[in-house]
Amino acid sequence: MAAIGLLAKEAADRELLGLMLGELGHRAEGAGRLEEALEFARERKPRAFLLVDGGGADAESLTRELIRAFPLMPVVVALKTRDASRAVALMRVGAAEVVAPPWTPEDLKSSVSKGLRFQGTALTAASAAPASRSPVWYALAVGLFLASGLGVASLQRAERDRAAAAARVDRWELPVRHPAGLAFDGKSLWLVEWFTQSFYALSPSDTSVQLVRHLTAETPVAAAFTAEAMWTVSADGSVMRRMRDDKMTPLSRYPKAAPNSAGLAFDGLYLWTLDARAKVLRKHLVDRELTVISTHRWRGVKPAGLVFDGRTLWSLDAADRRLLRHSLERPEDVIEGVPLPEYAEGAYIPTGVSWDGSRFWTVGEAKDGRGPARLVRHKEEER
């Protein structure tokens, strides 16, 4: 009998689905809120989770949260209203199965059962073989076999080239001296310069400057991007949400929301800030006040940057010259440390970090503060 977690805002839904799961031979434990569900999952380690979408509950964000905390646990979503696009969106964020209303024990049974045997899609470039095979088919097959031999050799060569490229580290001197942070918007790297109160958009291919924005009223220290907005934080702790346009048009201001900020990152749901003085990571709800929902001790020496790589948070320790990896579940624990030998000689102090989807980038200030800043594209890490 498998324990199945059940997360539904409305008690009637919990009762109905709990009964159905019970009929199917599962032990269902109901929760009305995400926190209860996470606690239950931690304690009881259920085989799967069943969520209800609708009735005031947004299963998309709940699915994300559950999968983030328990990546291997299948999540099945029961829709209160039939909506095929919604079902596909839920599956895209990680739901193993989506059950349409009206809920029946049969549908629930097959969906939960499928969720428990979750496998990936088989991908193959070739079409299925035709039922009857003509001489032409055999001739083509021989041709394909010979071509595939050449193809394998070519792929092996490509793999060798790719491995060499992945191990390469690139360095550029920048036309600025006092970098404070780095961010990536999907196309360009954004360098934050506190001394000239400027943002520089740089091309990741050759680091040429594509755009410069001066902010006369604030001293920027960090930036991060979401799909819709650019977030910046100033030396006085004010966080700004801006449009992703050339003017960086301000949308909202959150005074003193992130004091002593050394880094800013967005994980798809929450905004994270790294307080250099208190040495804490703060998790903020993106609401009117950027409410801090949790605070976590940062265990490095000198915090200098923060970035989200799509799975986990990474912080930059300027004193130890290391990148520290933090799980979203327990950010106070460092689950991995990546040394940055590029800073070993001590001529540059790392001040910002970013992630372009496959590699880390860091920016360093010359130790005497007089020479040009240096941008480093690091080698690809085994992930």
Partner 1 sequence: MRAPFLVPALLRFPGSSARQDSWGRLLKITAGGAQLSTAAPLAKGETVQVLFELGGEKLRIPARVTHASRDDDGQPLADLAWSDMVERRRLARVLLEVLAKS
Question: Footprint of partner 1 on this chain (CB under 8 A)?
Answer: 82, 84-85, 87-88, 91-92, 94, 96-100, 106-107, 109-110, 113-114, 118-128, 155, 158
Q: Which amino acid is at 365?
A: E
Distance in Å, CB of 322 to partner 1, minimum: 29
- Candidates 230, 149, 147, 155; CA nearest to 186 is 230
Shortest Cβ distance from residue 369 to partner 1 (Å)?
Answer: 42
> What b/e sequence results for 258-282 when a residue is b if at least 16 CB atoms lie within 10 Å of its CB, and e otherwise?
bbbbbbbbbbeebbbbbbbeebbbb
Residue 284's nearest CA partner among 310, 300, 261, 251 is 261
CB 304 within 8 A of CB 353: yes
Q: Which is closer to partner 1, CB of 63 or CB of 232? A: 63
Kind of pairing between the strands at 3-7 and 48-53: parallel
- Smallest separation (angstroms) from partner 1 to the CB of 74: 11
> Shortest Cβ distance from residue 76 to partner 1 (Å)?
12
Please say which residue, 153 or 155, places its beta carbon nearer to partner 1. 155
- Sign for the CA dihedral angle at 226, 302, 258, 334 comes to positive
Question: Phi and psi dihedrals of 282, rounded to 5?
Answer: -115, 135
Q: Are 239 and 291 in contact (CB under 8 A)?
A: no
Residue 359 neighbours by CB under 8 Å, 6+ apart: 377, 378, 379, 380, 381
Structural contact between residues 12 and 30, judged by C-beta atoms closer than 8 angstroms: no
Nearest C-alpha neighbor of 376 from the set 210, 187, 209, 172: 172
Contact indicator for 222, 233 with CB cutoff of 8 Å: yes
Q: Bridge partners of 97?
A: 76
Smallest separation (angstroms) from partner 1 to the CB of 117:
9
Q: Which of residues 90 and 376 has its CB atom nearest to partner 1 in the complex? A: 90
Rounded CA separation 254/9 (Å):
31
Residue 12 or 126 with smaller CB distance to partner 1: 126
CB 69, min distance to partner 1, A:
18
CB closer to partner 1 out of 88 and 139: 88
Which C-beta is closer to partner 1: that of 23 or that of 173? 23
Neighbours of 299 (CB within 10 A): 14
Of 110 and 294, CB closest to partner 1:
110
Which of 107/218 has CB closer to partner 1?
Answer: 107
> Residues 69, 73, 74, 77: is their CA dihedral positive or negative?
negative
User: Taking the complex as a whole, how short is the minimal distance between the CB of residue 255 and partner 1, in angstroms?
Assistant: 39
At its nearest, how many Å lie between partner 1 and the CB of residue 219? 37
Q: Cβ 58 to partner 1, closest distance in Å?
A: 18
What is the distance between the alpha carbons of residues 374 and 337, in angstroms, rounded to a whole number? Answer: 22
In terms of CB distance, is 125 or 344 closer to partner 1?
Answer: 125
